[in-house]
Amino acid sequence: MTQLRAAPARCGRRSGAATLFTAGPGLLWLAVFFYLPLALILAVSVHSRGELGEVTRPFTLENYRRLLGFGLLGFDPLYPQILLRSLALGAATAALCALAALPLAFFIAGLPASWKNVTLTLVVIPFWTNLLVRTYAWQILLAPEGLVTRVAAACGLMVPGEALYPGLGAVLVAMVCDYLPFMVLPLYASVEKLDWTLAEAAADLGAGGLRVFRHALLPQIKPGLAAGVVLVFLPASGQFVIPDLLGGARTMLLGNAVQQQFGPGLDWPFGSAIAAFGLAAVLVGLWVYARLAGREKIPEVL
């Protein structure tokens, strides 16, 4: 009897040891590279900047007040404008990616099986090239004498001699092209699982094409669309390489502000406050995704 009672205890200890052995490295990695840096950022964000740029006391929330525009000299709209510009550009990038990716996802899903993998490979091929190389290529294409500018001028979309680069338009074009695969892949996964009998039934009942899409197809692809929006909006709103190289000084975004404060600005507390705000934006994005697609879908994004 004693041996029978001891057996479950030994099994429990073995199970606990196995769990620690398998999950321990991952937990250690998260603790060192995520939780510890996060704690440091939050701690530094409530400190002050010394005369030589060092992090010092007293503890203060002035960095967050400054981020919202309430500085020592009154209201300054600079950083609220940067925040709004970052969110607006991230939202515009996500919306344009969704408009471009939706028909592409349906097109790929309708291809023969032998062509699907080829087309998906073509979608992700740009990621085989370094981001800096792609961004410098956009500088050439969007310059006044670039191919894109000349084609747009020939089609009457632009005034001859003008150019998107440098400017907000160049940033938007480059970001849409760079983040399009993040929208195509989750949408394609949802389209592949569509139950087309619902669309056929709606059409048999007299529903038009738009109504069939809205009521029979869109609810089924909503999880993929929500995942794509989150995967595009979050990195796009914090991007700093593309705005820095294509936008110039007038298109500073959240990521550029963080880079400036941790670099030449030597204001780590304020830079940490900006980074903490970016983290809050990530959490809000995950909350919105959970509302749209269900809490059980969050691990797919993570």
Q: Where are the domains of the chain?
A: 46-131+165-301
* Closest alpha carbon to 107 in 170, 216, 191, 171: 191
The Cα 118–Cα 125 span in angstroms is 10
pTM of the shown model:
0.79
As a whole number of angstroms, the distance between CA 86 and CA 234 comes to 10
Residues 6 or more apart in contact with residue 131 via CB below 8 angstroms? 178, 241, 242
pLDDT at 92 over 60: yes
pLDDT at 99: 93
Containing H/E element for 104?
helix 78-109
pLDDT at 261: 87
The model's confidence at residue 294, banded by pLDDT at 50, 70 and 90, is: low
Residue 58: pLDDT above 90? no
Q: Residue 240 contacts by C-beta under 8 Å, 6 or more apart in sequence?
A: 253, 254, 255, 256, 258, 259
Structure tokens at 272: 């940490």
CB 184 within 8 A of CB 177: no
Q: Which residue from 241, 260, 249 is spatially nearest to 53, judged by alpha carbons?
A: 260
- Maximum pairwise Cα distance, the chain: 92
Please tell me the predicted confidence (pLDDT) of residue 4: 46
Beta bridge partners of 75: 70
- Is pLDDT at 7 greater than 70 in this prediction? no
Q: What is the β-pairing status of strands 74-75 and 70-71?
A: antiparallel
Higher pLDDT, 215 or 246: 246
CA distance 111 to 118: 10
Task: For residues 208 and 217, give the distance between their C-alpha atoms in angstroms, rounded to a whole number.
Answer: 13
What mean pLDDT comes out for the span 147-164?
75
Looking at residue 293, its pLDDT comes to 59
Could you report the per-residue pLDDT of 216-269, keeping only the tens digit for each? 778 888 888 888 888 898 888 888 888 888 887 777 888 888 888 888 888 889
Question: First-to-last CA distance in the chain?
Answer: 47
CATH of domain 46-131+165-301: 1.10.3720.10
For residues 238 and 84, what is the distance between their CA atoms, to the nearest angstrom? 12
Note the residue count of the chain: 302
Cis peptide before 77 (omega within 30 of 0): no
